[in-house]
């Protein structure tokens, strides 16, 4: 699972309390129905890759949900076994079984993906690298965790916006919940909007030599490739730093703990956070665009009860450009998001085109429940719908 999106997904998973009797009855595998509404001809290939929760082993699952551990890798990396599962033709559906995993469901159009094994395990596709063997393949993935407490499955754009799809779950009462569908025209509309956004954002788009649009990289990866300038967020960060040199930024990181508050104040290049007693609990250096878009480095978010929750709140505030709108964060009102001219325009354009407004456009897009995630404690079936490219 990608480190960025996984941080938010797994934070949700591990915040769950001890399994209830119903949740404990989650079977070892559940069906995943994959429906191909893409309208594209040619083959589709599916992959279920991840970590087996009962053993911690990395591997893949076949169409029956049987786990297979990866063999040893090497330096340089060697080819992984072919873990592909034939997917549905256009207009058809295929049902496979998925085991208790924390991992990804990949799907690719036209050709199989290339996976390698290094000494540290599976090498995931990294299409920000122009020499990655999957660079010219049209593909995408969903992240999921299935354990004794149920199923969490998302549609994610943390790394890239590419082939459109949605996810869902059938509950024990027969109802279904889903997320990830784009509005009509949303797929093409996103790329059109990105092309029209000044400041290098159009450079995030990657196309194949035949003209096929493959994806738009997230701005974090765009910084790696030089698609967007490293200074892209500097003006906003400078204004935030100026404001909170003379006033306090109040962070209430837990919605269910309104009395747990931290107070940020800038001094020089540092924002110090104090608790109610006035004691300094953590400090943040003035962040750069990389720290903001990837929610790491200067905005690292450890799995603790103080720095991590504050950092997640700051990350969301910088990406959504809400820190100058309100000194009380998180700001969970979508009407306040992305209003500044300096913002995460990639995330802005994605959210604007989602049918339900939900997306995982950056690592902690789940702050304020804006993420495209569904969960159920007693899942009867999961769904993955390959949507049309319009």
In the beta sheet, which residues pair with residue 213?
A: 207
3-state secondary structure the chain: CCHHHHHHHHHHHHCCCCCCHHHHCCCCEEEEEEEECCCCCCCEEEEEEEEECCCCCEEEECCCCCEEECCCCCCCCEECCCCCEECCCCCCEEEEEEECEEEEEEEEECCCCCCEEECCEEECCCCCCCCCCCCCCEEEEEEEEEECCEEEEECCCCCEECCCEEEEEECCCCCEEEECCECCCHHHHHHHHHHCCCCCHHHHEEECCCCCEEEEECHHHHHHHCCCCCCCCHHHHHHHHHHCCCCCEEECCCCCCCCCCEEEEEECCEEEEECCCCCEEEEEECCCHHHHHHCCHHHCCCCCCCHHHHHHHHHHHHHHCCCCCCCEECCCCHHHCCCCCCCCHHHHHHHHHECCCCCCCCCCCCCCCCCCEEEECCCCEEEEEECCCC
From 159, 288, 365, 376, active-site residue:
159
Which of helix, strand or coil describes residue 318?
A: helix
Active site residue 132: no
What residues have CB less than 8 Å from 317, skipping those under 6 apart?
323, 329, 330, 331
From 28, 82, 132, 143, active-site residue:
143
Active site residue 159: yes
- Are 326 and 249 spatial neighbours (Cβ–Cβ below 8 Å)? no
Annotate 239-273 with b (16+ C-beta within 10 A) or e (fewer): ebbeebeeeebebbbeeeeeeebbbbbbeeeebbb
Which of helix, strand or coil describes residue 3?
A: helix
d(CA 180, CA 178): 7
> Annotated catalytic sites, by residue?
143, 159
């Amino acid at each position: 699972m990608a480190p960025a999106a996984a941080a938010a997904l797994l934070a949700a998973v591990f915040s769950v309390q001890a399994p209830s009797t119903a949740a404990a009855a989650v079977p070892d595998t559940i069906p995943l129905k994959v429906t191909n509404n893409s309208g594209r001809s040619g083959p589709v290939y599916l992959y279920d890759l991840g970590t087996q929760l009962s053993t911690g082993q990395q591997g893949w699952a076949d169409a029956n949900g049987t786990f297979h551990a990866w063999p040893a890798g090497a330096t340089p990396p060697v080819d992984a076994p072919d873990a592909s599962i034939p997917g549905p033709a256009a207009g058809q559906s295929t049902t496979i079984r998925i085991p208790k995993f924390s991992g990804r469901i990949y799907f690719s159009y036209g050709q199989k993906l290339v996976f390698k094994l290094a000494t540290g395990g599976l090498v995931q596709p990294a299409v920000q690298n122009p020499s990655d063997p999957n660079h010219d393949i049209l593909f995408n993935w969903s992240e999921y965790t299935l354990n004794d407490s149920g199923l969490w499955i998302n549609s994610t754009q943390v790394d890239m916006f590419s082939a459109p799809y949605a996810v869902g779950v059938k509950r024990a009462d027969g109802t279904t919940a889903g997320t990830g569908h784009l509005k009509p025209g949303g797929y093409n509309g996103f790329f059109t909007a990105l092309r029209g956004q000044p400041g290098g954002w159009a450079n995030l788009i990657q196309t194949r030599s035949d003209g096929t649009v493959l994806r738009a990289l997230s701005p974090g990866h765009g910084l790696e490739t030089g698609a967007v300038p490293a200074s892209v967020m500097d003006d906003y960060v400078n204004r935030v730093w100026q404001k909170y040199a003379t006033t306090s930024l109040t962070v209430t990181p837990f919605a269910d703990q309104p009395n747990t508050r931290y107070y940020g104040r800038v001094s020089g290049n540092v924002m110090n956070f104090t608790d109610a007693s006035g004691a300094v609990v953590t400090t943040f250096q003035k962040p750069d665009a990389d720290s903001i878009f990837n929610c790491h480095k200067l905005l690292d978010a450890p799995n603790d009860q103080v720095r991590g929750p504050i950092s997640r709140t700051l990350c969301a505030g910088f990406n959504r450009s809400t820190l100058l709108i309100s000194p009380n964060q998180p700001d969970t009102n979508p009407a306040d998001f992305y209003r500044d001219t300096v913002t995460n325009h990639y995330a802005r354009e994605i959210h604007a085109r989602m049918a339900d407004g939900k997306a995982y456009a950056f690592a902690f897009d789940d702050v304020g429940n804006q993420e495209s995630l569904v969960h159920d404690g007693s899942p009867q079936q999961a769904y993955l719908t390959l949507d049309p490219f319009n």
